[in-house]
Each structure stands twice: as structure tokens, then as C-alpha cells.
Amino acid sequence: MTRGLRVHASGPLSLVEDLGRPGHAGVGVGRSGAADRCALALANRALANDDGAAAIEVTLGGLEVEVLGDGLWLCVSGAPCPVAVDGREVGSHAVFFAEAGSRVSLGRPASGLRSYLAVRGGLDAAPVLGSRASDVLSGLGPEPLEPGAVLGVGAAGARFPHVDSVPQPDLQGEAVLRVVRGPRDGWVRDADALVRTTWQVSERSNRVGMRLAGEPLRPAREDELPSEGAWRGAVQVPPSGEPVLFLADHPVTGGYPVIAVVVDADVDRAAQLCPGQPVRFRWVDAP
Amino acid sequence: MTTTPELLPYGDRALLVELGSTSEALAYAAALRSGPPAAVGEVVPAARTVLVVAADGIGVAALRQALLEVSPATAGAASDDAALVEVPVTYDGEDLDDVASLTGLTPDEVVAAHTGQTWQVAFGGFAPGFGYLVGEDDRLHVPRRKQSRTAVPPGAVGLAGEYSGLYPRTSPGGWQLIGRTDAVLWDLQRQPAALLSPGVRVRFVRVDP
């Protein structure tokens, strides 16, 4: 029997993700990949996988998988959540072994939004344009996981895990994201309002973008901006005046002005913010 | 393009190169594709700009330095030998009459204008395999439809603003539809998957229904 995982419960949203498919923006395909790239890489390193090995991105817990064929080494990173093997708690941010036939379940995280269940050898879904990332905007990559889905696991590499646990991130409290002004800060009357306002993460957020609720930014111009390339971390201001922070599955081009761009390392933190949580921005100079 | 284009800030991984027109943006992106400096990772052309993302491990300061070396001369040369694709179109789109009245042409003249010029893919976006094509003149420049359609069928050929575009799959859309094509615009089993990628030149050929 092949080594793998059978999904028994998939929670609100569980997706296969790696570090995405670079190089296809010209034909309308974004990079996609794990929303919290650091967390994915951390779990993979703990298992001596390549940083970009495919794993399961679990939003708000609720995933239960059965280990098929052979025992597997696993690790959960990202939003710290209860992790159990056949009901026995093993904890997140720790390397653990699960026997064939056992069930691994992830509970709801106490803080943060997205946890990553990585497996030694990496998940072996069919790559699309060189990546196993599931892109909810373009529909490329593996389908969202449903009960009954079976995922293969690749061969383990020559290196062996040499840590038992990895550091847990602190995802509690207000997040302050570093942001570089521009390129289109002149398209709102007062771009500084972005950093003066305490925004609230909207319920209408997903992997494409995080919508921010707060006192709307006022447009400075009546005309329309021609479409421009977009990138992860861009803070776009649509006509409503409430900013959208682009995450992993953002569109490759967009027609609303980008008034600021979040520093790359802080976009992973942004991807762990839950609806209703406060978030602030702080200007930093362009490097 | 005689002066160095302005490089606008775009976070700590990218720069937005501001150019005067779609054709300048196309030429700049072509120059980057034909001989990308090592500092360049991803290139995202658009209507008046090219977003350039630094290669992994390269800082944005080094990227800025590399972009100052990109020369306009390479740009012209690169876009001239771009591939030419012929796309067969049946001109029976629901908005053909509206386009005719918006442009002051007859429906046949709209078709003649669409088939009578060479288009070029300026940039992508919206959906995998969708290309924004620019023509050689402004006869077919029309506004988007006042009411968007919830489902435009795959293969639909449309016009909006200065662009013509072809829908690779069923999607909502507000473009004026003038016809349809059987050409496969996006096929993951094909290499490359997209029939139309930035820089590719396109001639539309009228076929009977």
C-alpha cells in the first residue's frame, strides 16, 4: 500500500500548499503557495525536508487524517493548535511519529489562523506549472481537501531530522506591520491615515486578500488608474476606501491604486490575523 | 524611450517601472525577458508600467542598480521578432451591433478593423491565459458594457478600452463581445500552456459560422 494520508475531516478550509509557482505572472498565474511561508519552511526544516515541500495549510483547525501504508514523521507549525494522534495530545511545533492506521487531528488554534501539517518526504500531489500549490483565485493546483481524499507522500531525503521541536510564534495581540510608502500614495488625500488608523481585519478576507475595516481613505483623484502589476503585500485602495492587503493568491494585475506595500517578512504575520483582530501599520523607508 | 524611466518604490522586494504607454511597457518587458539581469526575478508588464520583482536573495537596492543598465535599444529589437499567432474568429458576438454604433462603423467594418491590424499581447491578468491585446490604431476603442455578464463563455472575443481580449474559460466579464474562437487559449498539457503570452503578435482571421 502506498504511503500517504487519507482525509477524514477537512475543517473550514484545508489546502495543499508549497512555496508557489514563480514566473507565470505574464500569463495571469500568480505565485500562490503557503500564506505563511515562514511557517511552512519551519515545519519542513524540522523534518529535514526542502523548505518548499508540499504540506497541508489548515485554516482554523478541524483537519483529521489517517496515516496510510507506513508510519510517518510529521510536524505542525504556524498557528499553535492542539495536535493529537489517536486522541493523545502531541502538541504543535514538535516532531512526532504516527503509526500506519493512526489518526492525526488538528484542533482550533488559540491564536493565529493557519497551521501547517508537514510530513517527512513532503506531499506528492501532481504538480501544475511546477508547483503543488492550491491557488483559490486561478483554480490551479490540487482541489481543496474533502473527506475521502488520499494524498501520497514522497520519499524522504538523505538528511534526518535532528530537532524535537521548533519555536512557537507569538501571534497574540495587536499586529504592527511595516509598510513602505508608494507607489500610488498620491491617489488618496492623506496616505498617513493608513498608519494613524487602527484597522480591523474584515470577515471578508481570504487567501486572495485581507480586507481592512476602518475610517475609509478618501480618494484624491477622479480618474481611473490603468492596470498595474500587483505583488504579495500590496495595500490596494478600492473605491470604498477600505484597504485590501494582497496575500498569496492575489491577482497578478489590478486596477486600483496601491498606496503602500508591506515588507515581505511581515506579510506572513498578516496571513495569521483572524477576522475581527486589530492591525496597524508603521512606515519604514524603502531599502 | 530616450530617458531612463522612473523607478517607483514597491515594498522591499520590487520596483514599479513607470513608462509612457502600453507599447513602451511592452518594449521594456521584452528587453527584460530577452536578457534579464541576474537581479531580476519576476517581470509583470501592465498598461503603463512594468513591475519588476527582485530574484530570491537579491535586495531592492541591487535591483535598482541593475535596472539602470536596461537599455532602450535592446527593447525595440526584442519586440520585432516576437512570434505571430493566427486566431480564427466567428464574428457573431452579441455586442457586435453595439460596437458598430459606438465606433460609427458598420458591423462589417468592425470585423475588417479587427482582422486588418496586427495585435500584440501587452500583459496578462484576470484569469490564466487571458491576454490584454493592443492594436495599431484606435478605431475599436470602446467602453466596457454598462452591465457585466455573469458568465462569458470560453473562446469569447471582446473589446474594452484600448484592448481586445479572449476569454480562456467561463468567467464573469464586462467586455463588449464581438465573436468567438475555437483556438485553445489555455491548456496545462501543452508547453507553454498559454497560447497568448506578453509580446506575442496576433492576427485575427474571419471564419464562417
pLDDT tens digits along B88-117: 999 999 999 999 999 999 999 999 999 999
Mutate to test the interface with A, among B12, B85, B141 (most CBs of A within 10 A): B12
Cβ(A279)–Cβ(A173) below 8 Å: no
Q: What is the mean pLDDT of chain A?
A: 96
Decide if B126 and A262 are in contact by the 8 Å CB cutoff: no
All three cell numbers of A282, joined, read 508603521
pLDDT tens digits along B106-152: 999 999 999 999 999 999 988 999 999 999 999 999 999 988 899 99
pLDDT tens digits along A191-221: 999 999 999 999 999 999 999 999 999 999 9
The whole-number pLDDT of residue A1 equals 58
Chain B contact set for A179 (CB, 8 A): 11
Closest CB from A183, A252, A287 relative to B125? A252
The whole-number pLDDT of residue A275 equals 95
Cβ-based neighbour number of residue A164 at 10 Å: 11
ipTM exceeding cut-off 0.90 for this assembly: yes
DSSP state of B100: H
Q: What percent of chain A has pLDDT over 90?
A: 92
The whole-number pLDDT of residue B3 equals 62
Residue A278 has pLDDT above 90, yes or no: yes
DSSP state of A124: -
- Give A178→chain B minimum CA distance, Å: 10
Least confident of A10-14, A27-31, A281-285, B23-27: B23-27
- The two counts, helices (H) then strands (E), for chain B are 5, 13
Burial of A255 per CB tally in 10 Å (0-12, 13-18, 19+): middle
pTM exceeding 0.90:
yes
Residue A161 has pLDDT above 90, yes or no: no
- Reference A31, options A161, A134, A110; nearest CA is A134
CA distance B173 to B44: 22
pLDDT tens digits along B18-29: 998 888 898 899
Decide if A182 and B128 are in contact by the 8 Å CB cutoff: no
The whole-number pLDDT of residue B75 equals 46
Q: For residues B78 and A162, which has the higher predicted lDDT (pLDDT)? A: A162
Contacts (Cβ under 8 Å, ≥6 apart) of A87: A105
Per-residue pLDDT band for A286 (boundaries 50, 70, 90) equals confident
Closest CB from A27, A140, A286 relative to B194? A27
Closest CB from B12, B193, B194 relative to A287? B12
CA distance A263 to A233: 7
Decide if B125 and A226 are in contact by the 8 Å CB cutoff: no
The whole-number pLDDT of residue B129 equals 94
Decide if A228 and B124 are in contact by the 8 Å CB cutoff: no
Cβ(A73)–Cβ(A120) below 8 Å: yes
The whole-number pLDDT of residue A255 equals 84
Residue A235's Cα: distance from chain center in Å? Answer: 17
Query: How many beta-carbon contacts under 8 Å exist across A and B?
Result: 127
Residue A246 has pLDDT above 50, yes or no: yes
Decide if A228 and B47 are in contact by the 8 Å CB cutoff: yes
pLDDT tens digits along B167-180: 999 988 899 999 99
Per-residue pLDDT band for A90 (boundaries 50, 70, 90) equals very high
What residues in chain A have their Cβ under 8 A from chain B's Cβ atoms? 22-29, 31, 128-129, 138, 140, 179-183, 226-231, 233-234, 251-254, 258, 261-264, 286-287
The whole-number pLDDT of residue B81 equals 62
CA quadruple A119, A121, A125, A128: dihedral sign:
positive
Chain B residue closest to A128 (CA)? Answer: B188
Here the contacts of B145-153 (C-beta below 8 Å, separation 24 or greater) are B145/B95, B145/B98, B145/B174, B145/B175, B145/B176, B147/B174, B148/B172, B148/B173, B148/B174, B149/B173, B149/B174, B152/B177, B153/B180
Closest CB from A226, A234, A264 relative to B47? A226
